[in-house]
């Protein structure tokens, strides 16, 4: 995992078994792509654990597209 800056903690749930989510900021004020990817992966894991396999498949496809677009930006 690559952390860009120290994160601002924002509690997303009060459940005791859920860890707080750290929101990462880019120095330029642009949205952090790592945070966006972590959110998709977290949503994917949640869908799998809840046995929502159609949602999980959709999120997997969204993650694949996100990573492909991110890699394309890296090389252009």
What confidence tens digit (pLDDT) does each residue in 41-76 have? 999 999 999 999 999 999 999 999 999 998 887 776
Share above pLDDT 70 across residues of the chain, in percent, rounded to a whole number: 59
Query: In the block, which residue shows the tokens 């990462």?
Result: 24
Does this model's pTM top 0.85? no
Q: How many structural domains is the chain composed of?
A: 1
In a domain, 40, yes or no: yes
**Whole-angstrom distance, CA of residue 72 vs CA of residue 26:** 19
Residue 51 lies in a domain: yes
Judge whether 73 lies within some domain.
yes
Predicted local distance difference test score (pLDDT) of residue 11: 46
The answer to whether residues 66 and 37 touch, using CB atoms and an 8 Å cutoff, is yes
Residue 64 lies in a domain: yes
Nearest CA to 20 out of 31, 12, 8, 28 is that of: 12
Instruction: Classify residue 49: in a domain, yes or no.
Output: yes
Query: What Cα–Cα distance (Å) separates residue 17 from each residue in 27, 29, 73?
Result: 31, 32, 36
């Amino acid at each position: 995992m690559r952390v860009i800056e120290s994160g601002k903690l924002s509690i997303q749930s009060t459940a005791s078994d859920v860890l707080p989510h750290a929101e990462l900021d880019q120095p330029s004020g642009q949205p952090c792509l790592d945070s966006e990817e972590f959110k998709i992966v977290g949503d994917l894991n949640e869908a799998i654990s809840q046995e929502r396999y159609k949602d999980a498949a959709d999120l997997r496809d969204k993650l694949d597209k996100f990573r492909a677009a991110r890699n394309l930006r890296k090389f252009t």
